[in-house]
Chains A and B, each alone.
Chain A
Amino acid sequence: MSASTPTRGRRPRVGRFRPFTLLLVLAALATLAFLLVPIVALFVESPPGQTLGHLDDPVVTDALIVTAKTNGIAFALTLLLGTPAGYLIGRRRFPGRSLVITLIELPLVIPPAVAGIGLLAAFGRFGLLGEQVSALGIEIGFTQTAVVLAILFVAGPFYLRQAVAAFEAVDDDLILAARTLGAGPGRAFWRVALPLSLNGLSAGAALSLARGIGEFGATIMFAGSLQGVTQTVTLAIYDALAVDFDVALAIGGLLVIISAVVLLSLKLLLSWRPSISTSTFRFGTSSSG
């Protein structure tokens, strides 16, 4: 191969300096550094020993319990309601379908604080449904129910959107095959559509859970920050900032660890199932499954 032959094919030329590649590497390094520095700083400023030492602080434990309870309920509701909804929207053609899909994605782009005000406007004492709700003797604003609602509104769409995409991707012929073989719509869903969509659904669930745990803006607006009742871990950090920076750091570090554990567990769960994709990369699941 002479020096004037242009490079074709995939093998990189060994030992030849390419400015474009250098540019790519620098950009990647800069991005990674920027993303990692705050996390690293968190653990440097508040070493794990110190972080875990705060676990017996009632502020911390209350916050963890509130976060766990509200996210548990919201996550369960998201899966229970979001899965069938995603199946319907993903597989049926109906007039206004694209509008519906856009509406689902709307909460994703609304600033969380605005979402909070919106929830107040709907369910607060003087809100749209507020009077009906109060008449039933139920007070939603500034209760744990409010936290659940806030999480549902802000994090739910992450799952729903993924569910729609995952179910949509199931080959029509597979469903028809199941139906001709005697399966009703329910059995076709349970035995064919759902198993084949699990990758996408799990990715959506992971995103939704992570977003829910990290929810702040809508929660503080709609539910307030009452320790033991509505003060989630993120709200606790915010309040602790004014009082004791070390506590804030510690809770922050704790949240990073929790988030990382949740994310890794879900990914491991995904790779435990026998792979039906042709991808050879073990953790190579795209967000659409």
Chain B
Amino acid sequence: MGPSGAGKTTVLRAIAGAVRPRDGRIALGERTLFDSAGRIDLPPEERGVGYVFQEYALFPHMTVRQNVAFAGKGRADELLERFGIAHLAGARPGALSGGERQRVGLARAIAGGPGVLLFDEPLSALDAHTRDRVRAELFDLLHELRLPALLVTHDFEDATSLADRVGVIVRGRIRQMGTPAELLDAPSDAFVASFVGSNLMAGVARGRVGGLIEVVLENGGVIRAASGPESGPVGAVVHPWDVTLGDGDDAPAEGVNRIDAPIASVAPRGDRMRVRLGPLVAEVDGGVLDLTVGRATRATFPAATTRLVALEGAAPPPSPPNRSE
């Protein structure tokens, strides 16, 4: 996972053998595909890699059946059936919808009996409705095939629904590797935090007061966090769903942070509402409060679930596009 240009696709291409790394080793189980030290560099056709391209890369001059049978005629019919595209066997890729093309691409990649599956942004070319359905199908498929798979995406939701482990790559380096839950609960830095969809408020930490770290935010407000760097420029990580909105004038409880701001925008997301106010985005149940733009509102979130990460000077990337309000 990572922003555009981070090098995610390059990793896939290196594994497939299209790109030669300057240095390093790539092994699939017991087989070494590439080793700069040992002078091993297997050509793509010997690597046993199943690649599902972002734009599917179906052979336009061949029928669906010929595409799927490219790696070998043996399993073609069985796979066409399994993926529900047998009725399209004689069609050309140009006549298919995005979802159908993806299934052909998938069937084609599996037909060769690969040792690993590589997916380059498999869901980004699909509309939102198809995306959800395909995500579920992909989940079932991957578990049924019991093949290791590497999936490249810029959408954390893909990671949470499909991945056992997630690696966040920014500008060619891995910032953190762990389960989706680990990335959410304990992001290692600002990039990861903003990538998993958390709020990241810039400020300066000024030491512990009463067990919690005090942070002066950019806009002047003061909040407290449970863990992280205790001095210097920091980003306060708060999950949108940990934020509560209300009108209350009463003093906030101990250990609860509070930010007052007028509502800047409201956007529905499923059955919830994403509300932007001040430096925060909150995700709340719709219909409970009056959420008009401009209305002064109080946002509260517990200090216990507020973490700090160091800000390295360079501003972290803005939230991924699918999270736009």
A250 to B70, CA, bound (A): 54
When distances are taken between beta carbons in the complex, the residues of chain B under 8 Å from A244 are none
Within 8 A of B (CB), among A157-179: 171, 173-174, 176-179
**Chain A residue nearest in CB terms to B46:** A182
Bound form: Cα–Cα A197–B61 in Å = 11
Contacts of B109 in A (CB 8 A): 180-181
> How far apart are B93's CB and chain A's nearest CB, in angstroms?
9
Q: A180 and B59 in contact (CB under 8 A), knowing A276-B92, A276-B94, A278-B94?
A: no
* Interface residue? A184 (CB, 8 A): yes
B262 to chain A, nearest CB (A): 42
Proximity bits, A61-103, B CB within 8 Å = 1, else 0 = 0000000000000000000000000000000000000000000
CA distance A146 to B213 in the complex (A): 90
**Contact A177-B71, Cβ < 8 Å, known A183-B45, A184-B45, A276-B94:** no
Stretch at the interface among B50-58, B125-133, B194-202: B50-58
A interface, by DSSP: helix, strand, loop or mixed? Answer: helix
CB < 8 Å neighbour of A176 from B44, B60, B72, B114: B44
Could you tell me the distance between the alpha carbons of A276 and B108 in the complex, rounded to whole angstroms?
A: 20
The interface residues of chain A lying within 8 Å CB-to-CB of B47 are 180
Asked if B302 is an interface residue, CB under 8 A from chain A, the answer is no
Residues B12-41 near A (CB distance < 8 A): 13, 16-18
B-chain residues with CB within 8 Å of residue A195 when the two chains form the complex: 61
Chain B nearest Cβ from A91, distance in angstroms? 13
Contact A176 B112 (CB under 8 A): no
Q: Is A192 close to B, CB under 8 A?
A: yes
Of the residues B70, B72, B111, B114, contact of A178 by C-beta under 8 Å:
B70
User: CA A283 – CA B71 in complex, angstroms?
Assistant: 34
A182-B71, A276-B92, A276-B94 known; A177 and B112 CB under 8 Å? no
In the complex the two chains form, is B60's CB within 8 Å of A181's CB?
no
Residues 224-240 of A contacting B (Cβ, < 8 Å): none
Interchain CB contact under 8 A, B44 and A179: yes
Flag if B51 contacts A176 (CB, 8 Å). yes
The answer, yes or no, to whether A108 is at the interface (CB within 8 Å) is no
Q: Is the CB of B92 within 8 A of A180?
A: no
Expressed in whole angstroms, the Cα–Cα distance for A195 and B66 within the complex equals 14
Bound-state Cα–Cα, A182 to B113, Å = 10
**What separation, in Å, do the CA atoms of A11 and B50 have in the docked complex?**
50
A262–B128 CA distance with the chains assembled, in angstroms: 53
Question: Known contacts being A171-B57, A276-B61, is A180 close to B70, with CB within 8 Å?
Answer: no
A181 touches B94 (CB 8 A): no
With a cutoff of 8 Å between Cβ atoms, the chain A residues found around residue B13 in the complex are 176
Instruction: Give the distance in Å from the alpha carbon of A162 to the alpha carbon of B94 in the complex.
Output: 25
How many residues of A are in contact with the other chain, CB < 8 A? 19
Q: Could you tell me the distance in whole angstroms from the C-beta of B42 to the nearest C-beta in chain A?
A: 11
Residues in chain B near residue A179, CB distance under 8 A: 16-18, 43-45
Contacts of B169 in A (CB 8 A): none
B62, chain A: closest CB distance, angstroms: 8
CA distance in complex: A137, B286 (Å): 95
Interface residues of B in 98-115 (CB under 8 A from A): 108-109, 111-112, 114
Nearest B-chain residue to A185, judged by Cβ? B43
Known: A182-B71, A196-B61. A173 touches B49 (CB 8 A): no
Given contacts A173-B53, A173-B55, A278-B94, contact A180 B61 (CB under 8 A): no
| In contact, B49 and A180 (Cβ under 8 angstroms) | yes
**Which residues of A (108-161) have their CB < 8 Å from a CB of B?**
none
* Docked pose: A174 CA to B58 CA in angstroms: 7
A173–B57 alpha-carbon span in the complex (Å): 6
Which A residues lie at the B interface, using CB under 8 A? 171, 173-174, 176-185, 191-192, 195-196, 276, 278
Query: Measuring CB to CB, which residues of chain B are less than 8 angstroms from any residue of chain A?
Result: 13, 16-18, 43-45, 47, 49-51, 53, 55, 57, 59-61, 70-72, 92, 94, 108-109, 111-112, 114
29 A–B contacts from the bound complex (CB under 8 Å)? A171-B57, A173-B53, A173-B55, A176-B16, A176-B53, A177-B51, A177-B108, A178-B59, A179-B17, A179-B44, A179-B45, A180-B16, A180-B17, A180-B44, A180-B51, A180-B109, A180-B112, A181-B71, A181-B109, A181-B111, A182-B45, A182-B72, A182-B112, A183-B70, A184-B43, A185-B43, A195-B61, A276-B61, A276-B92
Supplied contacts A179-B43, A181-B71, A192-B59, 11 more A-B pairs, CB within 8 Å: A176-B13, A177-B51, A177-B57, A179-B16, A182-B45, A182-B71, A183-B45, A184-B45, A191-B70, A276-B92, A278-B94
